[in-house]
Chains A and B, each alone.
Chain A
Amino acid sequence: MLSAAYAIWLREVKREIRERGRIIGNLFTPIIWLGIFGVGLGKSMRFSGVGTDYLTFLGPGIVAQTVLFSSIFAGVSVIYDREYGFLKEIMVAPISRAEIILGKVFGGATASMIQGTATLILVLFMGRGLLPNILGIILALGFMLLLSLALVGVGLVGASRMERAGGFQNIMRMLVMPLFFSSGALFPLNNLPEWLRILTILNPITYGVDAIRGSLLGISIHPLWFNFLILGGFTLSIILLGAHLLKGSEA
């Protein structure tokens, strides 16, 4: 009886695929980060606690970044659906809010995984001394999915009360940069001042970055199961919150 969730998922995926050029266009950002930022910084600085060369260290961080950027804006689709009237078609059907959320979340996550996987392939080619086994890649894909589910959830919560797409995008943009910079995607988290360390601990993305890096490189702060618990718990709560908020919102 998940036919409605499937329909909503399928629609999101179709719309994503029909936006031609997006996948190629979105690969541009990680190429810049890795090719210029990663190569440049790696050549001119020495990092302690990296455990490998900087470009290799950065790779999993950029994979997480792609997932972060592409997931958190997925919530905007709810706002567009409301603006263009399509949300009414969904809201008037005899289906539960849970199914709507399920379809929306997995739809957004699937779109984001397409981007994330493209970046992952790029990273596997660019990183030096990076020869992860199949298990590592599968684990990394699993954590990417979990991370994108969490972030699509954040987007949906943000979108549930917003009327205009512009306002939503501004708020999300404000959120994205601090989340990205304090996640450990760009630098190791072992020599930080106390205030920044607390920030990284509170940031749910930290656990996603750590888990993806752990899966691909075997270098991580926390054990994978710990990252899984924290990230999984966060994902579950945010989706439940989103479902609750959508219940109160009118088409």
Chain B
Amino acid sequence: MESGALLEIAIRTIGLTKRFGELTAVDHVSFEVRRGEIFGFLGPNGAGKTTTIRMLTTLLKPTEGTAEVWGHDILKERDAVRRSIGIVFQDPSLDDLLTGRENLEFHGRIYGIPKAERNRRIKELLELAQLSERADDLVRTYSGGMRRRLEIARGLMHHPKVLFLDEPTLGLDPQTRRAVWRYIQRMNKDEEITIFLTTHYMEEADYLCDRIAIIDYGRIVALDTPERLKSYVGGEVVHLKISETNQKILKRLSEEDFVQDIKMFREGFILTVKNGQRAVPRLIEVATKLGITVEECSIHMPNLEDVFLHYTGRRIREESAEKPIFRAMWMRGMRRR
């Protein structure tokens, strides 16, 4: 029925686009997710991650282009797509007046799972989510991490082929976040399920994902394994915090032959250099000659933050950390349309 090439593909998008009036939230995005992998959509808030998920899960119609999920067209075969996927939304969507078990039961019933199988599956997932002992307590009494685990377990009730996780660890403390990561990995292995997740946490994408698409202003700017993305940056990354920054210093530093790339920020420079161990003393020497004090200097192997900077010229943290309120308002606006 399906061709050999198609069998390997879990999700394929072709020029997927969504406009909200003037704003193009997702701009002709084309990519493929392979079966069995954990695929990450990494980008700052407002980059179009949630909008993409909403289109792939048939909650939102694309303005242009289309996509296939597990071989089903998101426009023409809506119910087939819905049966093949599980979704964990960014905002909580549990009924906290029901118990954990009842939330799973509800899901099993609306997906038409027969009773015997439903009960077996609930037992299995409660164990996987380590919630067996609290199964009959109201969700109201659960902690944030427990709710998250329950929600992910619920998304798996009907044996979906692809699980969508929209910012799965948003608002969780670091320890809980790690636990959820391990849980997602176990799910990916034990259930042999393809996972599509969005995140704006670099460590999360790096730790979890087999491949990552970096998305900015609705476009994919890079797509590869975390290792290869990092290797594209080339060299090592030096952060230089200095007393003052200006174009003259920028120009002077970029003339040095070991400097591959340099970007200026309020508090200093971020440079990509060859042979970092030797480059750093040279950098400080040049700066001192120009009469500038180097306040701090650090050198590290490229991480995804540097990859994002490399491709967009901006830092992901600046966008994500400072505007949580703006983001919430924007999301509400989107939902209303």
Contact = CB atoms under 8 A, between A and B. Distances in A.
Interface of A: 1, 3-4, 6-8, 10-11, 14-15, 18, 84-86, 88-95, 163, 250-251
A7 B110 contact: yes
A106 B287 CA distance: 76
Interface in B51-110: 57-59, 78-80, 82-83, 87, 89, 91-98, 102, 105-107, 109-110
A11 B112 contact: no
Contacts of A88: 59, 89, 93
A251 B87 CA distance: 14
A250 to B, nearest CB: 7
Contacts of A18: 97
B232 interface: no
A195 B188 CA distance: 69
Given A92-B82, A92-B87, A85 B93 contact: yes
28 contacts: A3-B109, A3-B112, A4-B110, A7-B109, A11-B106, A15-B97, A84-B92, A84-B93, A84-B95, A84-B96, A86-B94, A86-B95, A88-B59, A88-B89, A88-B93, A89-B94, A89-B154, A91-B59, A92-B58, A92-B82, A93-B111, A94-B80, A94-B82, A94-B111, A250-B59, A250-B336, A250-B337, A251-B59
A159 to B, nearest CB: 15
A163 B93 CA distance: 17
Contacts of B59: 88, 91-92, 250-251
A95 B111 CA distance: 8
> What are the 4 tightest A-B residue pairs by CB atom distance, in nearest-first order?
A7-B109, A85-B93, A94-B82, A94-B79
Nearest to B112: A3
Task: Pick from A15, A88, A251 the residue with the most CB of B within 10 Å.
Answer: A88
Given A1-B112, A3-B110, A92-B57, A11 B95 contact: yes
Nearest to A16: B97
Contacts of B266: none
A4 to B, nearest CB: 4
Contacts of A10: 106, 109
B98 A11 contact: yes
A5 B106 CA distance: 10
Contact of A89 (B78, B93, B336): B93
B335 interface: yes
A115 B35 CA distance: 53
Contacts of B112: 1, 3-4
Contacts of A93: 82, 110-111
Task: Pick from B87, B96, B105, B109 the residue with the most CB of A within 10 Å.
Answer: B109
Contacts of B109: 3-4, 6-7, 10
A251 B335 CA distance: 8
Nearest to A81: B95
Contacts of B337: 250
Nearest to A18: B97
A251 B98 CA distance: 20
Contacts of B83: 94
A86 B95 CA distance: 6
A128 B94 CA distance: 49
A95 B110 contact: yes
Contacts of A91: 59
